[in-house]
């Protein structure tokens, strides 16, 4: 077992995969708490479908760097969805369902109409569930993911106090002169970046699990915002590492293994939280 692990770790692409997995897990957990508390969990899910649609377009256009298309489209959708969430006239959940299902359908349609490779269903499956794509990342993609992840963590630390204030009470923040519109825009942008990053790791269908489970695990045990955030980050990194190593050793799909570990950790935390009271 150990020998096998050492052998695998001697390949640079496996090491890349691990570095990227840790970074992505770290930043996806940070804003998860804000999303869950603001009742925005489903926005993450909707956006990942948008990212799938965007990825389909990028694949068909044969872009070598698909992020160029996927990232801006996802950011725009994130901003639109968060705006809708504030407008009580348009039902937020209906808007999310509309955009996410629409993007999913068009993405699949485009990939079938203009197949870029012989194995369309294989392409679709790996975009939806992540499958082995993490191990096929190029050094360039690892670099971009790394930079984006560091940017996300940096933004989160710098704006931690404002993000907390807005998550807890948007009206109060607004009343005392905090530029709530700007910070919501910032949060939407960061969420979009996280989703595009996390899609590499677990695929678009499983991506919201990466955002939600660490946050829920932490919230069931800890009682201060700072501790919740820190524990969510730790548990997310542990989940990603464990899932990745298991998937390498046993040969299970990367994305679903990581999410399965996250789910198990959530139940453990939930029970601990109940016992502690």
Among 4, 15, 39, 274, binds other proteins (CB under 8 A): 39
- Which token pair is 15? 């090491």
How many residues lie near other proteins (CB under 8 A)? 28
If you compute the radius of gyration of the chain from its CA atoms, what whole number of angstroms results?
19
Angstrom CA distances, 172 to 161, 169, 182, stand at 14, 6, 15
Give the nearest distance from C-beta 220 to other proteins in angstroms. 9
194-231: b or e for each residue (b if 16 or more CB lie within 10 Å)?
bbbbbbbbbbbbbbbbbbbbbbbbbbbbbeebeebbeb
Question: How far, in Å, CA of 79 to CA of 240, rounded?
Answer: 28
Per-residue binding letters, 206-235, with other proteins (x by CB under 8 A)? ------------xx--xxxxx-x-------
Question: How far, in Å, CA of 3 to CA of 153, rounded?
Answer: 34
Residue 10 interacting with other proteins (CB under 8 A): no
Give the nearest distance from C-beta 265 to other proteins in angstroms. 17
Residue 114 interacting with other proteins (CB under 8 A): no
Question: How far, in Å, CA of 238 to CA of 234, rounded?
Answer: 6
Contacts (CB under 8 A) with other proteins, residues 50-79: none
Residue 242 interacting with other proteins (CB under 8 A): no
**Which CB, 83 or 162, lies closer to other proteins?**
162
Residue 276 interacting with other proteins (CB under 8 A): no
Give the nearest distance from C-beta 48 to other proteins in angstroms. 23
3-state secondary structure 212-262: HHHHHHHHHHCCCHHHHHHHHHHHHHHHHHHHHHHHHHHCCCHHHHHHHHH
Residue 270 interacting with other proteins (CB under 8 A): no
Contacts (CB under 8 A) with other proteins, residues 146-175: 158-162, 164-165, 168-169, 171-175
Give the nearest distance from C-beta 187 to other proteins in angstroms. 15
**Which CB, 117 or 224, lies closer to other proteins?**
224
Contacts (CB under 8 A) with other proteins, residues 172-191: 172-178
According to DSSP, residue 61 is labeled: T
According to DSSP, residue 203 is labeled: -
Q: Which residues bind other proteins (CB under 8 A)?
A: 37-39, 158-162, 164-165, 168-169, 171-178, 218-219, 222-226, 228
């Amino acid at each position: 077992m150990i020998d096998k692990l050492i052998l695998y770790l001697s390949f640079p692409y496996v090491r890349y995969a691990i570095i990227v997995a840790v970074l992505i897990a770290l930043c996806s957990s940070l804003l998860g708490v804000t999303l869950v508390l603001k009742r925005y969990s489903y926005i993450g899910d909707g956006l990942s479908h948008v990212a799938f649609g965007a990825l389909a377009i990028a694949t068909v256009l044969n872009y070598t760097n698909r992020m160029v298309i996927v990232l801006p489209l996802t950011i725009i959708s994130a901003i639109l969805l968060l705006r809708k969430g504030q407008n009580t006239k348009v039902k937020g959940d209906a808007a999310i369902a509309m955009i996410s299902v629409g993007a999913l359908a068009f993405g699949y349609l485009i990939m079938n109409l203009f197949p870029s490779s012989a194995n369309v269903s294989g392409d679709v499956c790996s975009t939806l569930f992540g499958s082995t794509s993490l191990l096929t990342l190029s050094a360039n993609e690892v670099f971009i993911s790394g930079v984006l992840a560091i940017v996300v963590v940096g933004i989160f630390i710098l704006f931690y106090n404002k993000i907390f204030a807005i998550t807890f009470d948007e009206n109060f923040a607004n009343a005392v002169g905090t530029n709530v519109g700007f910070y919501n825009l910032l949060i939407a942008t960061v969420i979009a970046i996280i989703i595009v990053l996390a899609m590499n790791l677990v695929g678009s269908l499983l991506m919201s699990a990466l955002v939600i489970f660490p946050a829920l695990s932490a919230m069931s045990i800890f009682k201060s915002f700072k501790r919740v955030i820190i524990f969510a980050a730790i548990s997310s990194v542990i989940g990603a590492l464990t899932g990745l190593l298991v998937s390498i050793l046993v040969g299970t799909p990367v994305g679903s293994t990581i999410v399965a570990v996250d789910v198990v950790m959530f139940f453990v935390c939930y029970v601990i939280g109940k016992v502690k009271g």
